[in-house]
A and B are shown apart, each in its own frame.
Chain A
Amino acid sequence: MAAPAPLGEEALIQSMKAGDDHSYQEAVRTFTPGMLAVARFYLDHSSAEEIVQDCWVTVIDAIHKFEGRSGLKTWLHRIVANRCKNRLRSSNREVPTDFSESLEPELAGRFNAKGRWDLPPKMQFHDSADKLMENGALSDCLDKHLSALPETQRSALMLYEAHQHKSDDVCNILDVSASNLRVLLHRARQKIFLMVETFQETGEC
Chain B
Amino acid sequence: MLMCRDLAVVASDYIDGELAGLQNLSVKMHLMMCRDCRTFIGNLRASTELMKAHSSIRPDEEFMRRIDERVAEALKARKEDSGDG
Contact = CB atoms under 8 A, between A and B. Distances in A.
Interface of B: 3-6, 8-9, 11-13, 16, 18, 36-37, 39-40, 42-44, 46-59, 63-64, 66-68, 70-72, 74-75, 78-79
A89 interface: no
Interface string A134-161: 0000010011001100000010011001
Interface residues of A, number: 59
Given A116-B4, A120-B40, A53 B56 contact: no
Contacts, number: 144
Contacts of B9: 102-103
- Which of A29, A103, A161 neighbours the largest number of chain B CB atoms within 10 Å of its CB? A161
Interface in A23-38: 24-25, 28-29, 32-34, 36-37
Interface of A is mostly: helix
A34 B43 CA distance: 26
B49 A129 contact: yes
